[in-house]
């Protein structure tokens, strides 16, 4: 793909300097997701960054799955991640799994033991945590820290052979329990997990920890710029220690950037999985979810997401991005691309009493008035139509220019109609409006006899296509910050989904999943790929037409 995501940021400056000074001949980046959930919009920023920088400097990007925890990983997540990266418009130069390197990682762990840089520890996870100390208090050495090299080699091999239970022993780095950086206080390198791995099966029952595995993966693959988020900044000394003490031929370097935080948006895979598991949503691709698959199903385009990632840029300081900024970019991307048929979401029937019974005429309408090259469409018009309930009021407030008794409005791309009578049911609810039309006011004829202040949209009733409209609000009412005694689930918006049954123009009968449209006054909509069938059209609200947000 063409590189449209050039970023004037500190990472770009670093790469330019490295190339200019000959520190690297070719940059190699990687996108290293853990296959323990679906990717979200924050990962999209990282994807665009890693692939975009490699594209710009004619380098390479690896897609690597950090699959070091068999308990939480699944091939479903692997396939979804591949699909998301491809859909965003990127392709990897190499596809790797951390598990491809398990034998090499084990070999390097043995080297650390032989060098006296690692030991087998019998403390429990809780005991290790307590012995680590605090930011102001040094840690306490494990009573097993000074085992001999021979004993550590024997115990580690017995761990490898499956002689011990989960949690019974771990392999720890031997660094400095008094280090001001808690990550350097003898971190765990390997733990026991008698679990079947999605890629290696039951070959292994010991698995490397992320902080040990990740730098080795980067070194093995020849990564030049290992780009990660700011929470790993304090882990960088350990990253460098592992590469150095494991005597890796290639020495990668880690660079940190601020992760994406957005208003009204959960950016944690653990919490997103909880939403799925507790059926708050109907899956990882629920259109309310900030997952890439959820955004895709809702109707977002890869172009909009890439442009959003480019606009927010890359910084060293944490900040919060207004979610309306992402909405801005989908509007900008779709406004000249999609057709603008009419849709009625809350239908109110209108009978035009002076229009000939049984007659249906076909009117011309532009697909998109801002893009004449899209051509025209035909829309039927007859004695019976549907309008929006909100476009009629029996007793209107001041400056209400839509339909009310005695008032005249223009039907979009059709005629003037005037309200003559209101029909109600036994409970007093309005069920039908009776109007007359003026045949001289047909749109496109140049009629100038008089003007009306209101124009409303409509759908002809006899040929209208029934449709289900799914209207969305943010899933989280605010930032979801967890207060005492509450969790982020207490911030779920009960009105995040509203389902309405309405009608669209008959030409939309041929609409296919993922087709997108702009409906006048309502917003942009996407044909839902999960629920739409040949007999049932389901439309997801992508975004409203307007926003107060200014970029």
Active-site amino acid positions: 34, 259, 269
Query: What's the maximum distance between 2 C-alpha atoms anywhere in the chain?
Result: 102
**Beta carbons of 545 and 523 less than 8 angstroms apart:** yes
Tokens of 418: 């005037």
Residue 64's closest CA among 216, 205, 192, 229? 216
Q: Which DSSP string corresponds to 421-432?
A: EEEE-TTS-EEE
Tokens of 548: 């107060």
Residue 477's closest CA among 284, 265, 328? 265
Chain length of the chain? 551
Q: Rounded to an integer, what distance in angstroms lies between the CA atom of residue 104 and that of residue 221?
A: 12
Cα torsion at 22, 23, 27, 30 (round to 10°)?
180
Q: Is 517 exposed, middle or buried (0-12, 13-18, 19+ CB in 10 A)?
A: buried
Tokens of 384: 């019976």
Q: Rounded to an integer, what distance in angstroms lies between the CA atom of residue 106 and that of residue 110?
A: 6
**Helix locations, 149-235, DSSP H:** 149-160, 210-221
Q: What is the DSSP letter of 337?
A: T
**Beta carbons of 30 and 49 less than 8 angstroms apart:** no
Handedness of CA 445, 446, 452, 453 (dihedral sign): positive
Query: How far from 112 is each of 3, 213, 234, 241, CA to CA, in Å?
Result: 43, 14, 22, 11
Q: Is 272 exposed, middle or buried (0-12, 13-18, 19+ CB in 10 A)?
A: buried
Q: Rounded to an integer, what distance in angstroms lies between the CA atom of residue 333 and that of residue 64?
A: 31
- What is the CB neighbour count within 10 angstroms for residue 514? 14
- What is the CB neighbour count within 10 angstroms for residue 244? 11
**Helix locations, 210-282, DSSP H:** 210-221, 236-245, 269-277
Residue 39's closest CA among 223, 215, 232, 260? 260
As beta bridge partners, residue 192 has 206
- What is the CB neighbour count within 10 angstroms for residue 201? 9
């Amino acid at each position: 793909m063409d590189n449209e995501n050039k970023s004037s940021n500190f990472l770009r400056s670093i790469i330019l300097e490295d190339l200019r000074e000959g520190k690297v001949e070719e940059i190699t980046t990687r996108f290293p997701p853990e296959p323990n959930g679906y990717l979200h919009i924050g990962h999209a920023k990282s994807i665009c960054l890693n692939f975009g920088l490699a594209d710009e400097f004619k380098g390479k990007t690896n897609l690597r799955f950090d699959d070091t925890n068999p308990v939480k990983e699944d091939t479903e997540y692997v396939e979804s991640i591949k699909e998301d990266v491809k859909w965003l418009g990127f392709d990897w130069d190499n596809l790797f799994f951390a598990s491809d390197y398990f034998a090499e990682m084990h070999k390097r762990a043995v080297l650390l033991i032989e060098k006296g840089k690692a030991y087998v520890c019998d403390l429990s996870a809780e005991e290790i945590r307590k012995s680590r100390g605090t930011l102001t208090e040094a840690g306490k050495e494990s009573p097993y820290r000074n085992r001999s090299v021979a004993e550590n080699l024997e115990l580690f091999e017995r761990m490898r052979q499956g002689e011990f239970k989960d949690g019974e022993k771990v392999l720890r780095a031997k660094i400095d329990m008094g280090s001001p950086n808690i990550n350097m206080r003898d971190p765990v390198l390997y733990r026991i997990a008698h679990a079947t791995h999605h890629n290696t099966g039951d070959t292994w029952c010991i698995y490397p920890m992320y902080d040990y595995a990740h730098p080795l993966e980067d070194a093995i693959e020849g990564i030049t710029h290992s780009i990660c988020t700011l929470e790993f900044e304090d882990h960088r000394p350990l990253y460098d220690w592992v590469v150095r003490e494991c005597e890796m031929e290639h020495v990668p370097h880690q660079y940190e950037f601020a992760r994406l935080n957005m208003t009204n948006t959960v950016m944690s895979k653990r919490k997103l999985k909880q939403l799925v598991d507790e059926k708050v949503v109907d899956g990882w691709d629920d259109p309310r979810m900030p997952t890439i698959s959820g955004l895709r199903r809702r109707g977002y385009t890869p172009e909009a997401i890439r442009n959003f990632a480019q606009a927010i840029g890359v910084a060293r300081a944490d900040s919060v991005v207004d979610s309306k900024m992402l909405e801005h970019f989908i509007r900008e991307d779709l406004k000249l691309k999609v057709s603008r048929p009419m849709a009625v979401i809350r239908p109110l029937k209108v009978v035009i009493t002076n229009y000939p019974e049984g007659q249906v005429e076909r009117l011309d309408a532009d697909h998109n008035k801002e893009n004449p090259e899209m051509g025209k469409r035909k829309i039927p018009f007859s004695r019976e139509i549907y309008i929006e309930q909100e476009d009629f009021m029996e007793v209107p407030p001041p400056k209400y220019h839509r339909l009310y008794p005695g008032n005249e409005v223009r039907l979009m791309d059709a005629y003037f109609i005037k309200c003559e009578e209101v029909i109600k049911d036994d409970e007093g609810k309005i069920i039908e409006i009776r109007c007359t039309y003026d045949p001289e006011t047909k749109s496109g004829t140049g009629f100038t006899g008089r003007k009306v202040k209101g124009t409303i949209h409509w759908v002809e009733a006899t040929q209208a296509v029934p449709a289900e409209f799914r209207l969305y609000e943010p899933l989280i009412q605010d930032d979801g910050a967890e207060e005492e005694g509450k969790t982020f689930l207490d911030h779920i918006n009960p009105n995040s989904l509203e389902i309405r049954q309405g009608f669209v123009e008959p030409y939309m009968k041929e609409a296919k999943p993922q087709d997108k449209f702009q409906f006048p006054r309502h917003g942009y909509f996407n044909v839902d790929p999960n629920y739409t069938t040949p007999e049932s059209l389901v439309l997801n609200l992508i975004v409203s037409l307007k926003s107060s947000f200014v970029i």
